[in-house]
Amino acid sequence: MNTDLIDIKIRAVEGGVTAAAGFKAAGIHAGFRKNPERLDYALVVPDKPCPGAGVFTTNRFCAAPVQVSRANLGGADKGYGIIAGVSVNSGNANAATGETGLACARETCSIASQVIGCEPQQILVASTGVIGQILPIDTFETAIPAAYEALSAHGGADAARAIMTTDTHSKEYAVSYVSEAAGHAGNVYTVGGMCKGSGMIMPNMATMIAVIT
């Protein structure tokens, strides 16, 4: 990159995953965890379906949500598409759950698509928590409508807390900059995100979850 052509002044901003214009999020207690004080379900939704991409673990044995989300983005050879919502639950990873887990992940996409008003393939799903336990679909049937009603441009912090597992604190950040690049001079760009994981990025993305807007 020729740094003489680009002069970027970056500053931190508030909002996390909802810092970028056009995104709302919510974090609620839905019942995936027993502790009623613990947020355990996050929903991130753009104002309208938008282009997006995904990067997934290359481990052979990946959880059902990974397989379904990767398929919704056209498979391993593509990895991008139109996204209308991201659904993340904590407390149960829906991993090592076989065809039952895959059916749950697909049905989650279906439920979310009906609530949001989009195609099931435009929903990405992620789950984190204990493995080998069946994830109850009926919890999503109440969680998704409740989270959708709670969506807010200020909901990023709650969403970041809702996806925590062994994390000691929530993880979110956002930056904004004015571009001076040719063709984009004067345009303000904001990038925000949230993630979960405590030393969980290895091997091969492992169990880290990150959502970037």
85: CATH: 3.60.70.12
Q: How many residues does the chain have?
A: 213
pTM reported for the whole predicted model? 0.93
How far apart, in whole angstroms, are the C-alpha atoms of residue 167 and residue 175?
Answer: 22
Instruction: Please report whether residue 190 resides in a domain.
Output: no
The three-state secondary structure class of 180 is coil
Active site residue 97: no
Among 146, 142, 164, residue whose Cα is nearest residue 89:
164
Instruction: Please report whether residue 15 resides in a domain.
Output: no
Contact 91, 40 (CB under 8 A): yes
How far apart, in whole angstroms, are the C-alpha atoms of residue 160 and residue 143?
Answer: 16
Place of tokens 């282009």: 51
Chain Cα centroid distance, residue 136? 20
Instruction: Please report whether residue 82 resides in a domain.
Output: yes
Instruction: Please report whether residue 50 resides in a domain.
Output: yes
Instruction: Please report whether residue 191 resides in a domain.
Output: no
Which pLDDT score, from 0 to 100, does residue 151 have?
A: 98
Given the residues 18, 97, 108, 207, the one annotated as active site: 207
| Number of domains forming the structure of the chain | 1
Structural domain of 102: 24-171+201-212
Instruction: Please report whether residue 194 resides in a domain.
Output: no
Instruction: Please report whether residue 193 resides in a domain.
Output: no
Buried b (16+ CB within 10 A) or exposed e, 134-169: ebebebbeebbeebbebbeeebbbbbbbbbbbebee
Regions of the chain short of the pLDDT cut 50: 1-6
Which pLDDT score, from 0 to 100, does residue 8 have?
A: 61
Instruction: Please report whether residue 18 resides in a domain.
Output: no
